[in-house]
Chain A
Amino acid sequence: MENKLHEAIQRQDLELLTKIYTDAANASEQRGDIDEASFLLTQAYVCALQQGADTAVKLRSRLIDKGRES
């Protein structure tokens, strides 16, 4: 993940960053690590917001469900 992340950050590829963070958040959630999942979902959410992507709405909902966003 780190290499992909580094590459996406270098390229300022917000769409790819959103996907990388979301995938990682999903994996954390499956493991039951809600704190880590929330951190990663937040990263994904900010990237999605910045690019004006529709996915921001769903990411926000997931964070709200966990009591991490308003």
Chain B
Amino acid sequence: MNEINTPCLDHVLQPVATAKGLPNAHYIDPETAGSEREKVFFANWAAVGFGKDVAEPGSALPMEFLGLPLLIVRDDDGTIRVFQNTCRHRGMILMEQAAKVKGVIRCPYHSWCYSKAGKLITTPHVGGPGINVAPEIKRDELGLIEFKSHVWNDIIFVNISGDAPAFEEYAHDLLQRWREFDQPIYHGGPESSFKLEVNCNWKLAVENYCESYHLPWIHPGLNSYSRLEDHYHIVQPDSFSGQGTTVYNPRLDDSGRSFANFDNLDAKWDTSAEYIALYPNVLLGIHRDHTFAILLQPLDHQHTIEHIEIYYAKKSSITTDMGDLRQKNAELWKSVFLEDVFVVEGMQKGRQGIRFDGGKFSPAMDEPTHCFHHWVASRFTA
């Protein structure tokens, strides 16, 4: 590929007033995307799934994360574990479909069997027919490769490199900011789960999500009651950024029905809601009565799946008789997210502009976006 502007991350690391955005290569160059896989995703805590999708002991969910085969399993104790989905014998993929594992995870090739906690249980005929042991086969050393994982608000995070600080430390500032919401949440069911496939680099979804500058133009309906001037920036260097609104006031139902709120929230949350991107790849929304998470799954450098899951503050909001209200809420969010699709896809197309220099930020409006670019650039220069 020629004529891509030379990546100059020093420009990104300047203060917002003088900074430029990430160079085009970070959006259109597979080689740069390969470096990003290691430095941005594997070295940090990236979101790979939701606990609700491995709801019961034995639930197993194979998935591919930037080409890395993963197997998410809820073990018999209820602990969610994330394994490399690869047998320790000949490297066979262990599972290709989501399933309920009754007993062991059996490799379909030579039937090496692993417990749901990853322990190698048996190695049939490994020492010859009918001989399942051999001095060279040390089972204690041949369990499934397990990655560091952590579940927060039902989102499953993994640290593939294994050397990131503990999740609680990594996300400390956000956990503190939203500590009032550290309460049980309840998934809204099938109508509260949807996904969007977008033809863009995953970072464009983050950038668009964490700024409110585009609201009047892209979300005129939303802007009619939640105006640009009702929003505030949220910027936590090296961790997260986003936006908040001070006029959250859902009216989903003329009869006056509404979702129940979390307990003991500060009065601020009567009308406030916040939308934050926890770097690298999870977009969060929090309201007094519900939350949502958008997990960005990069398929490659120019294709992303947005997995959206909506959760409620109280069990009373997930009853059958509230189904129509949950449906309306999900449709409302889906319509907002769909309005963003042409923007993120348009920015992907625009990134083919060989003279584009990463872009000039508005110091007043683009600070959350710059914060994210700065974080990405810092992963490359650290």
Chain B, 293-350, CB within 8 A of any chain A CB? none
Set of chain A residues within 8 Å of B113, measured between Cβ atoms: 46, 49-50
Q: Give the residue of B103, B106, B122, B130 whose beta carbon is less than 8 angstroms from that of A38.
A: B130
Chain A: interface secondary structure?
helix
In the bound complex, do residue B122 and residue A45 qualify as a contact, i.e. CB atoms below 8 Å apart? yes
Cα distance, A39 to B102, chains bound together (Å): 23
Given the known interface contacts A42-B124, A46-B111, A46-B113, the answer about A52 and B103 at a Cβ–Cβ threshold of 8 Å is yes
Q: Does B104 contact A (CB under 8 A)?
A: yes
Contact with B along A2-23 (1 / 0, CB 8 A): 0000000000000000000000
Given the known interface contacts A46-B124, A50-B102, A50-B103, the answer about A70 and B139 at a Cβ–Cβ threshold of 8 Å is yes
Cα distance, A49 to B122, chains bound together (Å): 9
Cα distance, A32 to B133, chains bound together (Å): 22
Set of chain B residues within 8 Å of A52, measured between Cβ atoms: 102-104
Chain A minimum-CB-distance residue to B129: A39
In the bound complex, do residue B125 and residue A42 qualify as a contact, i.e. CB atoms below 8 Å apart? yes
Chain A, 20-65, CB within 8 A of any chain B CB? 35-43, 45-46, 48-53, 56, 60, 63
In the bound complex, do residue A42 and residue B130 qualify as a contact, i.e. CB atoms below 8 Å apart? yes
Contact with A along B103-135 (1 / 0, CB 8 A): 110100001010000000110110001111100
CB distance from B140 to the nearest CB of A (A): 10
Chain B: interface secondary structure?
loop
The 9 closest A-B pairs by CB, nearest first: A38-B130, A52-B103, A39-B130, A52-B102, A49-B104, A69-B132, A39-B129, A42-B124, A70-B133
Set of chain A residues within 8 Å of B121, measured between Cβ atoms: 49
Q: Give the residue of B106, B131, B133 whose beta carbon is less than 8 angstroms from that of A49.
A: B106
In the bound complex, do residue A49 and residue B103 qualify as a contact, i.e. CB atoms below 8 Å apart? yes
Given contacts A35-B130, A42-B130, A56-B103, 4 further A-B contacts (CB under 8 A): A38-B131, A49-B122, A60-B122, A63-B132
CB distance from A6 to the nearest CB of B (A): 18
Cα distance, A63 to B62, chains bound together (Å): 32
In the bound complex, do residue B122 and residue A35 qualify as a contact, i.e. CB atoms below 8 Å apart? no
In the bound complex, do residue A46 and residue B133 qualify as a contact, i.e. CB atoms below 8 Å apart? no
Cα distance, A68 to B131, chains bound together (Å): 5
In the bound complex, do residue B130 and residue A51 qualify as a contact, i.e. CB atoms below 8 Å apart? no
Set of chain B residues within 8 Å of A69, measured between Cβ atoms: 122, 132-133
Cα distance, A63 to B139, chains bound together (Å): 17
Cα distance, A39 to B129, chains bound together (Å): 6
In the bound complex, do residue B122 and residue A46 qualify as a contact, i.e. CB atoms below 8 Å apart? yes
In the bound complex, do residue B111 and residue A41 qualify as a contact, i.e. CB atoms below 8 Å apart? no
Contact with A along B231-254 (1 / 0, CB 8 A): 000000000000000000000000
Set of chain B residues within 8 Å of A43, measured between Cβ atoms: 124
Cα distance, A52 to B133, chains bound together (Å): 21
Chain B minimum-CB-distance residue to A70: B133
Given the known interface contacts A46-B113, A50-B113, the answer about A68 and B106 at a Cβ–Cβ threshold of 8 Å is no
CB distance from B321 to the nearest CB of A (A): 38
